Structure 1
Amino acid sequence: MKKIDSVEEFEALIENEKNVLLVKHSLTCPISHAAFEEYESFVEENAEFNNYYLAVQDSRPLSNYIAEKFQIKHESPQALLFSNGEVVWHASHWKITYSSLTKALEELNQ
């Protein structure tokens, strides 16, 4: 799991990687903290996948850019699964769980 901070980093990722999972989270929100723990558990079992995150407080311009570019309302926490440069799945708040992330990855691989 790698942290990204800039629009340039993000654009390079979705251009160069077929599939990318990105979690946007808040450093101060308890709901976001719980979702991030679920994401960390998922990453432990799926380390070979392209797993990334951004902290909204540190990367607000990037978070806003993603929301605008893909026409998906910004939420925090928020998980977005990209395939071939497009969002193919997203979830927010309590819907970000180990099982929902696993299911999204399984559906992508079908």
Structure 2
Amino acid sequence: MGLFSKLFNNSTEIKEKKVLPWMALTEVSQLDNIKKKSSMKTQVIFKHSTRCGISRMVMNQFTDAYHLTENDLDLYYLDLISYREVSNEVGIKFQVMHESPQLLIIKNGVVVLHTSHGAINHVDLNRFL
């Protein structure tokens, strides 16, 4: 009975969706500002493919585990399907090969860590504050 109740949960309880302090990354010009701001505050870019189930799963897991505030770091969301030019420029400006999903952590103008896929959820962002 316990297994079936977990699989076919008939509960009417609705889980409230967690919202992160995302800032939309939609313009190439934002990258210079991100680089500049990284000398004062850690900047994080989450590159997400809206057409990829793995990317969606990783983003959901990242969101569920995220516990920082906008005071801790700046968190950017890049929809790389809609903003392909911005995604390409991220790779050039920060010298990282494109992957999706991908997390970049930027401090003092350089990427101090970048990772992709399931490894994103093993990153301890507190190390970079």
TM-score bucket of the superposed structures, by smaller chain: 0.7 to 0.9
Q: How many residues align?
A: 104
- Tell me the CA shift for residue 52 of structure 1: 0.9
Q: Which runs of 4+ in 1 moved over 6 A?
A: none
State TM-score, norm by structure 1.
0.84
- Tell me the CA shift for residue 95 of structure 1: 1.0
Listed as ranges, the matches of 1:4-23 within 5 Å are 4-17=25-38, 18-23=41-46
Distance 1:2 1:62 in 2: 14
Distance 1:85 1:20 in 2: 9
- Show structure 1 runs of 5+ residues with no match: none
Give the number of the structure whose alpha-carbon radius of gyration is greater: 2
State TM-score, norm by structure 2.
0.73
Normalized per residue, which structure has more helix?
1
SS of alignment partner, residue 52 of structure 1: strand
- Of 24, 40, 64, the match for 1:3: 24
Q: Report if aligned partners of 1:38, 1:96 keep a CA contact under 8 Å in 2.
A: no
RMSD over equivalenced CA pairs, Å: 1.5
Distance 2:89 2:51 in 1: 21
1:25 corresponds to 2:48: yes
- Of 112, 116, 124, the match for 1:92: 116
Q: Which residue matches 2:128? A: 108
